[in-house]
Amino acid sequence: MTSATKYIRGSFRKSYKKRDIALKQWRGEHTIERAEKPANPVRARTLGWKATKDYIIARVRVKRGKRVRPKPDQGRKPAKNRKRENPGKSWQWFAEQKAEHKFDNLRALGSYWVGEDSISQWYEVVLKRD
Model confidence, pTM: 0.78
pLDDT value, residue 51: 94
Give the H or E element holding residue 88.
Answer: none
Strand partners, 129: 106
pLDDT value, residue 13: 66
In a domain, 128, yes or no: yes
pLDDT value, residue 101: 96
pLDDT value, residue 95: 95
Q: Of 14, 106, 117, 22, which is closest to residue 58 (Cα–Cα)? A: 106
Residue 39's φ and ψ, nearest 5 degrees, are -70, -30
The domain total for the chain is 1
The pLDDT averaged over each successive group of 10 residues in the chain (130 residues) is: 74 69 90 94 93 96 82 70 74 95 96 92 95
Range of the domain at 103: 31-68+82-130
In a domain, 2, yes or no: no
In a domain, 5, yes or no: no
In a domain, 109, yes or no: yes
Question: How far is Cα 34 from Cα 19, in angstroms, rounded to an integer?
Answer: 18
Q: What is the CATH number of the domain that holds 37?
A: 3.40.1120.10
Which positions ≥6 away from 34 have C-beta within 8 Å? Answer: 56, 57, 58, 59
